[in-house]
Structure 1
Amino acid sequence: MKKAFDMSDLGLLCFYLGVEVRQDDSGIALRQAHYAKRILELGGMTGCNLAHTPMEKFKLSRESTAEEVDPTHYRRLIESLRYLVHTRPDITFVVGYISRFMERPTMEHLQAVKRILRYVAGTLDYGLHYGRAPDTARFVGYCDSDLAGDVDTSKSTTGTIFFLGDCLVSWQSLKQKMVAL
C-alpha cells in the first residue's frame, strides 16, 4: 500500500474515536475510561459514592409527578452514556431503559441516571477483551425478554447477546410490542 499511497506507519493502534485500544500477546482490550471520566464531570458526579449495580429494582413511568428537570442536560447525559455502551455491554439495558424518558424527564429519571453514573465511577476500567483463541471459534447467542415490563405501554424489552468463542461480539436491548398469535 505504501507504493500506491502516501502513508506512514504509526505503530499499533492505541486510541480511536474515544476508545482506548490495548494490544498485547493475550489479545485486544477496548475501554473508554477517559471518556467515562468526562461523563462523570458532565453529570457533576466526580468523587461521588460508588454503586455496585447500575440500577436499583424499580419501575419508572412517563407519568411521573416528580419535579421536571432540564431536558437538554438530561439528553446530553443519556447521549454520552449511549456512546459509552460501545465498550460497556453491562450498562446497555439500563441506558436503553432511561432513554425512554427523554421527552419529559423528571427528578426520578435523573436519579436513575445518577445511579448509573455512580456505577460507572466504580467501574472505570471495565471494557471488552478479545483474547487470542483461534481454536474456540464457536458462535453462541442468548436472548431474553421481560414480557410486558413497561409500566406505561406494556411493551417488552428484549435483549440479545452473541459470543464468538469467549469474546462478546454483539449485544442489544430493544423495546417491542407484544403480539398475540
Structure 2
Amino acid sequence: MVHDRACALHVAIGKEELVVGVYLDDLIVTGAHMEDIDNFKHEMVAHFRMSDPGVLSYYLGIEVRNEKEALTLGQSMYTSKLLERSGMAECKPCVTPMEERLKLMKASTVVKVDATLYQSIVGGLCYLVHMRSDIAFVVGYVSPFMYDPQ
C-alpha cells in the first residue's frame, strides 16, 4: 500500500515475516517474535541514525493501548484538538452528530466562512471517520461545500 508518503513493507528476517509501516521518517515494526523485531532494529541502526521510543502509544493521531487481552485504538486527543480548532471545545456531547432536518444549500445569503479553516476541519473529520463511522454521513453531507463554505 503506497499513499503519498506512507507505505507498508513485509520484511523476512529470521523465523517469520515482519510488517513495517513507514510514514515519512517514522517506522512501526511488528511481528510474531520479539527476537526478529530486535534483529531488524539492530540492522536498521547499523545503516541509519535512529531512535527507538519503545512500545507504540501514539502514532499519526491514533492512541494505542496494548492491554493484556486487547489492543485498543482511539483518537480522543485528536478529536479534542479538532474541536479546539473549530471553536467547539466547550460543546456538549449529543446522540446525533448533526442537527436534525438540517438543509444546507449552495446558494445561500449566509455570511461566508474562512474556506481554509472549513477545509481543514472537514479534512480532520474525514480522518476521524476511520474510527468514528457514526459521523460518516455528516462528513459526506458537509464535504460538497468545501469550495464555497457559508
Indicate whether the TM-score tops 0.5: yes
2:77 counterpart (27, 34, 39):
34
TM-score (norm 1): 0.51
Count the aligned residue pairs. 106
1:14 counterpart (57, 69, 83):
57
Runs of 4 or more consecutive aligned structure 1 residues displaced over 6 Å after TM superposition: none
1:86 counterpart (130, 133, 138):
130
Q: CA deviation at 1:86?
A: 2.5
Instruction: Give the letter for the 1:21 counterpart.
Output: V
Instruction: Give the letter for the 2:76 counterpart.
Output: A
Q: Larger C-alpha radius of gyration, 1 or 2?
A: 2
Instruction: Give the letter for the 2:97 counterpart.
Output: P
1:4 counterpart (43, 56, 67):
43
Match of 1:73 in 2: 117
Identity %: 46
Deviations 1:64-106 (A, max 9, x none): 3322222122112111212222221111221121011011111
Q: CA deviation at 1:44?
A: 1.3
2:89 maps to 1:46 = yes
2:147 counterpart (96, 103, 107):
103
- Name the SS of the counterpart of 1:4 in structure 2: helix
TM-score (norm 2): 0.61
CA RMSD, 1 decimal: 2.1
* More divergent stretch after superposition (51-60 vs 95-104): 51-60
1: distance between equivalents of 2:64 and 2:108? 41
Match of 1:171 in 2: none
Unpaired stretches in structure 1, ≥5 consecutive residues: 107-181
Instruction: Give the letter for the 1:70 counterpart.
Output: D
Q: Which has the higher contact order (CA 8 A, sep 6+)?
A: 1
Q: CA deviation at 1:51?
A: 2.2
Match of 2:106 in 1: 62
